[in-house]
């Protein structure tokens, strides 16, 4: 992708994804960790919404793979979830961009839940079902945080002219 001249600011994208991954495993006080949103996926969703021509399913899949290794889950389950969520947001990006932020949040909620559903489903298949409604909390927290993530990353994108 970096072969094309007009693309720039790849470092910013990479760094933000890295920070997303780091936030995903930073130790939180006991109890709060159940609320931890899927930061890496939020960052991925922003970049694929803003620059669908740059950030695609492949990068999402790779990020998911790293997330899998970082959280010691089954190799590929986050990768699949991220790839599906990114695919959907890329197909819908033209419509989603027109929505006001709070409506975007609702769509993001659906996407985050879908990603969690895939992980939930795989966990069920491999015999580690999660029997708690609290499992879905990270999606809700993630959707609530979406406006903040969006504004922050948009600021970054404009400041560094990422295109």
Partner 1 sequence: MTLDQRQQHLDSLRSALSVVVYPIQWLVDLPAASQDWFQETLSSRRTLQEENARLRTEQLILKAELQKLEALESENLRLRELLDSSFKVRERVLIAEIMAVDLDPYRHQILLNKGSSDDLYTGQPLVDANGVMGQVIQAGPFSATAMLITDPAHAVPVQVNRNGLRSIALGTGSLTSLSLPYLPNNADIETGDLLITSGLGGRFPPGYPVAEVETVIRDPGESFAQVFARPLAELNRSREVLLVWSQGQARIDSPEEETAGDEDPAAAEPSGEAAP
Q: Tell me which residues in 81-120 interact with partner 1 (CB under 8 A).
A: none
149: its two tokens? 């993530």
Among the listed ranges 33-41, 83-91, 92-100, 147-155, the one in contact with partner 1 (CB under 8 A) is 33-41
Query: In angstroms, how far is the first alpha carbon of the chain from the final one?
Result: 12
- Between 2 and 131, CB nearer to partner 1: 131
Among 51, 109, 114, 122, binds partner 1 (CB under 8 A): 122
Q: Please report whether residue 14 would count as binding partner 1 according to CB under 8 A.
A: no
Among the listed ranges 51-59, 121-129, 140-148, 152-160, the one in contact with partner 1 (CB under 8 A) is 121-129
Provide, rounded to whole angstroms, the least separation between the CB of residue 54 and partner 1. Answer: 22
Half-sphere exposure of 138 (CA within 13 A, CB side): 23
116: helix, strand or coil: helix
Please check whether residue 20 is in contact with residue 142, taking contact to mean a CB–CB distance below 8 angstroms. Answer: no
Among 57, 70, 114, 117, binds partner 1 (CB under 8 A): 70
């Amino acid at each position: 992708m970096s072969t094309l001249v007009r693309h720039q600011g790849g470092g910013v994208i990479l760094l933000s994804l890295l920070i997303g991954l780091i936030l995903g495993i930073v130790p939180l006080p006991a109890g709060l960790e159940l609320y931890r949103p899927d930061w890496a996926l939020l960052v991925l969703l922003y970049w694929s919404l803003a620059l669908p021509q740059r950030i695609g399913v492949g990068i999402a899949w790779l990020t998911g793979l790293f997330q899998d290794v970082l959280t010691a889950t089954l190799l590929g389950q986050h990768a699949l979830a991220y790839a599906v969520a990114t695919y959907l947001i890329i197909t819908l990006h033209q419509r989603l961009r027109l929505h006001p932020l709070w409506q975007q949040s609702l769509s993001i909620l659906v996407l985050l839940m879908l990603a969690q559903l895939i992980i939930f489903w795989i966990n069920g298949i491999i015999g580690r079902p999660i029997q708690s409604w609290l499992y879905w909390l990270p999606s809700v927290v993630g959707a609530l945080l979406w406006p903040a993530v969006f504004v922050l990353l948009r600021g970054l994108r404009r400041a560094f002219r990422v295109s």
